[in-house]
Amino acid sequence: MARPAGLPWEVAASLAISGETAYRTLGLLGVTGRGAAGTTLLVHGASGGVGTVAVQLAALRGARVIGTAGPAQLDRVRSLGVKAVPHGAGWAGRVRALAPNGVDAVLDLSGHDVLEDSIALAGGPDAVVTIADRRAAELGVRYSRGLLHRVGMAEVFADLLPALLDGRITVHVAHRLPLAEAATAHRISEEGHPGGRIVLAVR
């Protein structure tokens, strides 16, 4: 598929990974189409590259979205129309204060040992999907891997591109670095708090 005119290269490149992962995992949780309306979705790692697309797409579909993030990213998460909750100790209680009856689905993009409390909030492991916690199988949670479960990009772009082009969904590129600084990009990624997508440019 050709890049639409007016869509920056770094945004198009970021969407190919972030958009597919968000689209795929929301589909596994049933947060799709009209079925998302009225659903309460909890997203761990809502400020990351995948997280920001997932929360916007879920909200666009009519879900009520709660997202966990670090203190420095909470305002940006709120700007996406999400109820933002600081991650870390006590996060489950803070979510419960916003959703006294629990949540309908949980998407874990962080891998920060949140699965047990997420299962309790969602009422069972079937309502939880992770891409980041390899303990998923022992807890009965679905672990979704891009290489094994990837959705066709034509399907993803057909859903996401119209919303991206008219501004209903935005992709935040936090770091745009030349290819020669690939080691720096890797370091930023390993630190775990890039604040958005990291893009390497060949020119």
Domain spans in the chain, listed from the N-terminal domain onward: 9-149
Q: Which of 66, 61, 62, 40 is closest to 51 using CA atoms?
A: 66
Cα of first residue to Cα of last residue in the chain, in angstroms, is 22
CA 62 to chain centre: 16
The chain-wide mean pLDDT, for the chain, equals 86
Phi, psi dihedrals of residue 162, rounded to the nearest 5°: -60, -40
What is the per-residue pLDDT for 51? 94
Strands (E), the chain: 40-44, 64-69, 83-86, 105-108, 128-130, 142-143, 173-178, 197-201
Lowest mean pLDDT among 5-9, 116-120, 126-130: 5-9
Q: Are the beta carbons of 104 and 58 closer than 8 angstroms?
A: no
Tokens representing residue 177 in the block = 């670095």
Please check the confidence at residue 27 and state whether its pLDDT lies above 60: yes
User: Hey, what CATH topology would domain 9-149 get?
Assistant: Rossmann fold (3.40.50)
Give tens-digit pLDDT for 41-65.
999 999 988 999 999 999 999 999 9
Phi, psi dihedrals of residue 54, rounded to the nearest 5°: -60, -45
Q: Are the beta carbons of 38 and 195 closer than 8 angstroms?
A: no
Query: Which pLDDT band holds residue 108 (cuts at 50, 70, 90)?
Result: very high
DSSP state of 121: H
Give tens-digit pLDDT for 120-166.
999 999 999 999 999 999 999 999 987 667 788 888 888 888 888 88
Please check the confidence at residue 197 and state whether its pLDDT lies above 70: no
Q: In whole angstroms, how far apart are CA 27 and each of 70, 107, 152, 156, 188?
A: 26, 11, 13, 11, 29
